[in-house]
Amino acid sequence: MFRHVHRWFPKVYAVPKDKVLKINLIETHPWEQRKVKDLFKVTRGYVLAAPETSENRTPEHPYPVYSSQTKNDGLMGYYKEYLYADAITWTTDGANAGTVRLRPGKFYCTNVCGVLLSDDGYANKAVTEALNNIAWKHVSHVGNPKLMNNVISEIAISAPRSLEEQQRISELLASIDNLITLHQRKQKEPEIGLFHSIFKYIKKLL
């Protein structure tokens, strides 16, 4: 992740009292490069026809279904069954190939979604953003854009050895995401731009 930051990373938080965004520096543990295949079981989703899904979550259709689209975070509806839980997905085919997303909770995903499964806690936002920053570089553009399982398996990402530290970074990124969403709802455009800039800066360090 933070390629050029080995001892420190910024912790960003909002102070409602005066609306000042502060950055603190916290000492970190060693980082290492590891291939995706060494961290995850690499698999993919299954074919599911859109008419079989429900547009809204219901007791009969409680599980989100994710597709290759990026609109609405890839959500195409809800289904009665789930395939995976607490995983990372990426778009394998089409214009959005290489887009990587964290999927907390139980979910279903279609056959154009690859899935990364970990029993050790590596399916977190820090690893997701690190992979999302570089996965697009490995997309094949011969014909229909593709990023297949065998290719993503060989991608190397940098991450802290400590899962606790990965979680701290994940919480940081999630907090910024939440701030952006909150201020979008309040339509505070200058502050939205600030949070987007901070988020983009931090993701570049991953």
Give the pLDDT score at 198: 54
Architecture of domain 35-160: Alpha-Beta Complex (3.90)
Q: For residue 141, is pLDDT > 80?
A: yes
Q: Is 201 exposed, middle or buried (0-12, 13-18, 19+ CB in 10 A)?
A: exposed
Quick one: pLDDT at residue 39?
Answer: 93
| CA distances from residue 120 to 49, 72, 99, 100, 156 in whole angstroms, order as listed | 32, 28, 23, 19, 18
Instruction: Look at 144 and 30; give whichever has higher pLDDT.
Output: 144
Average pLDDT over residues 34-60: 95
List pLDDT tens digits, range 155-189: 999 877 767 777 777 777 777 766 766 766 666 55
Instruction: Kindly tell me if the per-residue pLDDT of 77 is higher than 70.
Output: yes
Distance CA 107, CA 73 (A): 13
How much is the average pLDDT of 127-133?
Answer: 90
pLDDT at 79: 98
Q: Which residue has the higher pLDDT, 9 or 44?
A: 44
How far apart CA 33 and CA 130 sit, in angstroms, is 11
The per-residue pLDDT for 169 is: 75
Domain boundaries, the chain: 8-30+162-205, 35-160
- pLDDT of res. 15: 38
Higher pLDDT, 83 or 30: 83
Paired residues of 22 in beta bridges: 13
- Give the C-alpha separation, 174 to 116, whole Å: 20
- pLDDT for the residue 6: 34
Cβ neighbourhood burial of 200 (10 Å; 0-12, 13-18, 19+):
exposed
3-state secondary structure of 179: helix
Q: Report the distance separating Cα 117 and Cα 123, nearest Å.
A: 7
**pLDDT grade, residue 12 (50/70/90)?**
very low
Tell whether the model's pLDDT for residue 19 goes beyond 80.
Answer: no
